[in-house]
Amino acid sequence: MEKMVDHSFHTLLDAKPGERVLDIGCGLGNHLILLNRLGLNISGLDASPLAIEQARQRLGHACDLRVGPAEDLPYDDNEFDLAIMVHTLEFLNDPLEAIKEAARVARRGIFIGILNGFSLACFSNKFKGIFRDSPFNQAKYYNLLQIKYLLSATLGNVPIQWVCSQNWPSYYGRLGNLLTDSKKMQHCPFGHYLGLYAPLHPRVTTLLHPLRIKLKKAPQSLVNGISRDKADLGA
């Protein structure tokens, strides 16, 4: 799974070294490590204090880690260049509010990674969950159309990019890598994992340009003229 996530980061993020990225629902920090390898300035947030503590032990001072809900992020507007949520929306009661918050704190774009609700692996996980406990028993699985709807409902008509990856068995070897890199396979909506990237609309900024035309001397105002006339009459 981490290999598929890493592949989607490289394909979609167009990450530039030094950019600030927030991993919302960072868990134990697996994806923060992948982002750190891209040269990004990493920060992470998770609702679980235990997960944050374990992530802090793994990452040390290389990452700013905080405890908090995805639906109410303790960060300023546009504090980050990118916000990512990998296997996060599946466990939230209000995914739309989480995407709104991600859009608030990110300047350039939002990345979402999910287990594909249209995949055979998803149906397999659901079936296995009948017989054994798993964290994904409580998950809500999404498909490509549903995530696109959530992003559009929050961000408007933005050009959403996406890739889909399949978890090929190890005995596929080089063939599995070739299939993963195939553009046709990357845009097959039935793969195991979906990664989506949505750019954010640019904020309106004001540029101050120097005035290159000399202003003529302003004529005397009517009010001042009347006041002066009254003063002369009084004299």
Reduced to 3 states (helix: H, G, I; strand: E, B; else coil), residue 45 is strand
- Residue 227 resides in a domain: no
Cα–Cα nearest to 145, from 118, 179, 111, 119: 118
- Residue 173 resides in a domain: yes
Structural domain containing residue 54 = 2-208
How many domains, the chain? 1
Mean pLDDT to the nearest integer, 121-147 = 71
pTM of this structure? 0.75
Specify the pLDDT at position 70: 97
* Single-letter amino acid, residue 132: R
- Residue 121 resides in a domain: yes
Confidence of residue 232 (pLDDT cuts 50, 70, 90): low
- Residue 216 resides in a domain: no
Q: Does 220 have pLDDT greater than 60?
A: no
Tens digit of each residue's pLDDT (9 = 90 or more) over 43-55: 999 999 999 999 9
- Residue 234 resides in a domain: no
Most confident of 98-107, 134-143, 207-216: 98-107
CATH number for the domain spanning 124: value is: 3.40.50.150
Burial 54-66 (b: 16+ CB within 10 A, else e): ebbeebeeebebe
- Residue 235 resides in a domain: no
- Residue 228 resides in a domain: no
